[in-house]
Amino acid sequence: MRIAFLVAPEGVEQVELTDPWDAVLDGGDEPVLVSTSPGEIQAFDHLDKADTFPVGEVVGDTSAESFDALVLPGGVANPDFLRTDRAAVSFVRDFFSRGAPVAAICHAPWTLVEADVVRGRTLTSWPSLRTDITNAGGTWVDEQVQVCDAGPNVLVTSRKPDDLKAFDEALRTEFAKGRKAS
């Protein structure tokens, strides 16, 4: 399976990118870094610059149909930038329209709110997104990981870097179900 990791040119929380990336690789799938601009993205360790990573595909030049699943890493600035980019929001919405599995951690559900795909779903996130999720019609829960299969696709969400082990396990399990179904 090809798995898109959608991130902004800078601001992604590095561990929320690299841990799920490694989980996807360990599952035998192909992770692809998708961003709004070509070149490299700048990751962060909270507020400090961390490593850079090469962009595999640009969101405006690719489509959700060329991927089997989507991962949205967090970091405060990352989803805040993505939710203002029309191509990125449309890209996310297309995964839901297709019924493909999606995983989002920490602040990443901001992009889901902007894509108007949380209505009727139960999810978790960084606690400060609770009101945004609720106002968008979702149900927010304070859990390490939440797997919601309301609608045609599965949504895996998690709160923070401390939850990465559970998040990685859940996304591997749910993505594997998608592999078997195809």
Q: Which pairing describes strands 48-54 and 40-45: parallel, antiparallel, or unpaired?
A: antiparallel
List Cα–Cα distances, 29 to 11, 19, 36, 58, in angstroms. Answer: 25, 14, 23, 20
Q: Determine the 3-state secondary structure of 27 from DSSP.
A: coil
Rounded Cα gap, residues 27 and 12, in angstroms: 23
Q: Which of 8, 69, 77, 106 is catalytic?
A: 106
H-run or E-run covering 46: none
Q: Among residues 37, 39, 34, which one has the least CA distance to residue 66?
A: 34
Structure tokens at 182: 């195809």
The Cα–Cα gap between 181 and 56 comes to 26
Nearest to 37 by CA among 15, 22, 21, 55: 55
Decide if 106 is catalytic.
yes
| Active site members | 106
